[in-house]
Structure 1
Amino acid sequence: MVFGGGSGSTAVTVNGLNALSGFSGNSQVNVTLQYTPSPGRTVGVNGPTTISQGTYPVSNGSITVPISSMNSTYGYHLIVTPVSANGNTITVTNPGSQIGTVGTAINGVQIQATDSAAGQTLTYSATGLPTGLSISPSGLISGTPTASGSFNVLVTARDSTGASGAASFTWTVSPVSTGGAICQVTYTKNEWTGGFTASLTITNTGTSPINGWTLAFSFPGDQKVTNAWSATVSQSAAAVTAKNVDYNAAIAPSGNVVFGFQGTWIGNDSNPAHFTLNGSSCA
């Protein structure tokens, strides 16, 4: 149950529990009260903070949960699970907020829980997992995300008596980062005996902006760079590195930047054949 908008000390009543599967006939339920601060609506925050956990009596299918010092800008939610006939309680440890990237397998997340009854084997399930992830009966979440977004996950542990506990957290999956991996470089040269100038155009052919760039290549001949403009250029043997200056660090999708340099040569002034931008190959 998710709610918010109130302030100060109040109480929340949940009705209709006797109509839910697993709750019928229960005189008590386990209740976990959590909140997420308002920044969580627009920026990443830690997982929900647990305010209280306890057992509440059910009266005519309803429970009333008191809340003190409620903040009107926070989002609150209740996790309600039935208490087994044996009266045992299962507590699930919240793993906290998780992150991932589309196409990259996650490090397995093992969900942990404790049971107040001795000798019980817990079985785990989950709802709201990112597409491509799954949870094993032993509580291990694994897989490779296939879609980006923010996912509200609820994990539940249940024992053979029917008792259960739950915890909720967010899982944020980012799209594949193109960074500076998609690029095209044009090398235009003006040559004379013993000298040359070169103009290089870097085009961002990807869908994400490039913020800060380093272009690397190697001369196939004996060229030596003597000065440059619109980039900071350094050379070690045949290897050349060009880095952006303050005013041309950003390259928007389909945009480009141009820089150049002057140099000398003796026997071979062939054009470079391969370029990398921020470590990734360019066309």
Structure 2
Amino acid sequence: MKNLFYSALTGIAMLCMPFAHVRGQAFTENFDDITLLAGNGWFLQNNSSPVGITNWFQGTSVANGGPFDAYNGAANAYIGANFNNTTGGSGIISTWLLTPNRTFRNGDVLTFYTRKPATPVGGTDYPDRLEVRLSTNGASTNVGAAGNNVGDFTTLLLSVNPTLVAGGYPFVWTQYTITVSGLPAPTSGRIAFRYFVTGAGPSGTNSDYIGIDNVVYTPYVCPAFTVSPASVPNGTAGSLYSQNLSQTGALGAPNYAITAGALPPGLTLSAAGVISGTPTATGTFNFTVTVNDNSGCSGSRAYSITTVCPANPTSLNGLPALCSNDAPYALVEGLPGGGTYSGTGVSGGQFDPASGTQTITYDYTDPYGCSHSTSAAITVNTAPVVGFTAPAAACSNGTPFAITGGTPAGGTYSGTGVSGGQFDPASGTQSVTYTYTDANGCSNNAVASITVNTAPTVSFTAPADVCSDAAPFAITGGTPAGGTYSGTGVSGGQFDPASGTQTVTYNYTDVNGCTGSAVADITVHPLPVVNLGADITTPNASATITAPAGFVAYLWNTSATTQSITVTTSGTYSVTVTDANGCSNSDAVNFVTTFSVENTDGSKGLARIFPNPASSVLNVVFEGINTSEIRVEMLSLTGAVLFSEMLYPSAGNATRTYDMGAYAEGIYMLRFTHDNITRTQRVVVKK
């Protein structure tokens, strides 16, 4: 079909046909003569890439070899475009037909008819596409400079066969309707028809032939607006207010605004038609609400809101019962805060209590200038009468004592040194307060002074250290004189030493009857411990006796002053030791020299003579002597027998003590004889 209509279409493009001209906003274009379009404000431009040999052209009737007749009017009364708008087979057809400049508003309606030739049986449909676009840039004819450009016509209102599919474009006259929407306000601009095909041209796979007819633009006519309700409720200052407004007549979402007068302060009108907020002033407020839509249509209604004072918000609760002797009381119970108080005894927000029941009034002006008031009674109880007689004088070192003397009973005491009803004396005149609270919670007090005499200053210097064997002695060193001593080992002013640290107390009482004391320790050193050990019995002729080490002095009964002595004669040996504290103690040990006595069977027995030297007695002991009798004889150095007697051992043992008191000092010989065996031992007598 592309080849069939090519020459015919180009040949009739300049035919002139009459058309209907519609003045004002509305217009109807039936394309009776497209040569008159420019004079009526239309604009035609071929922006194809590349540009072909045709632009928009006058329709061709079937009678003149065209593919179809017009929708209405003369058979050729339509406008057409075809594949010859570009060349070759891969071009872009972008042929523009712009309507006259109009001020568009939402609700405007554009209708038109379009079609393309029917495809013959067995023929090929070369897809076409038609776009309807909007420019909001006034009378602009800027459609860009190339096939892919749209210039100011960026808003796509409609696309017929947008994806260029075969059979997608109507083969019969079909009406399309476009309703303008989405404009924020009435806007000056143009509507454009764009024949837009890619892969187009005489040898292309797309683009054939389209016609447009009976384009009708009908401006939106504003309907009558109704704003509801007829009146709105009144409000209360300080209380939330909300009222929804409604309307009829707006196209799309309406927009509400105050266009005259004013709402009460604190209220606002939202664009959605809600009056809300909290009124902050009282009075009558007149205002006009206007509702409009994006089409520029509007309607109004006058309203009035009267805001009144809120209910009395004041309260005066919780006034305390006071006492007649209370200090002026700051009144804070009135609510809301910020008001003023008045009444008997009230000044500057303070109430000066006087016995009885008084009326307090609280006045308050709210933020909206409204005055409110409330009253309440306050009870003032008479304070109790309180007395206090001070206790007798005390001493500064006395123990805490319970205070008495306050009336009525049941109160509490306070002051220097007072705690828990007890008074802890401190020198001087101390002021003590007795406070009493009655059943009404009213308190009063009385004050008295307690004299506290200073206790005497007592000192005690302890005596020097003593040893535990010291004799009792009188204690001194306490001042002032005239006191008494007490403590471990103390009696009648005498101290009887006992080992250890002994605590002694000196007590003194002055003319005020106040007592003081001082304590000192008397150190009583124990006697040194000296132990010479067990008695020494040995067959040796001598032995060394050693006293314990660590003492500062040693004195033996032999007059030796060394720690050790060596003895050669039997007898008792003692030592006196003195330690670093000057305390002394003694111990003694017996030294006995033994000698053997032969038995007839060859065994040996043992004999001991002690003490030797002897002074008053002489002991003779036999052990292990295998005989029935032993003769004992005392001889002088000249051989004279001084005494002789027989001893009779029992089980081999025998013991005898001899009185040496009658013997003069000197050297004697003691002779033992048994079974023809004789043994002689030297004996010394020393007085």
Name the TM tier (shorter chain): 0.3 to 0.5
* Structure ranking higher on relative contact order (CA contacts 8 Å, 6+ apart): 1
State the TM-score, normalized to the length of structure 1.
Answer: 0.37
TM-score (norm 2): 0.17
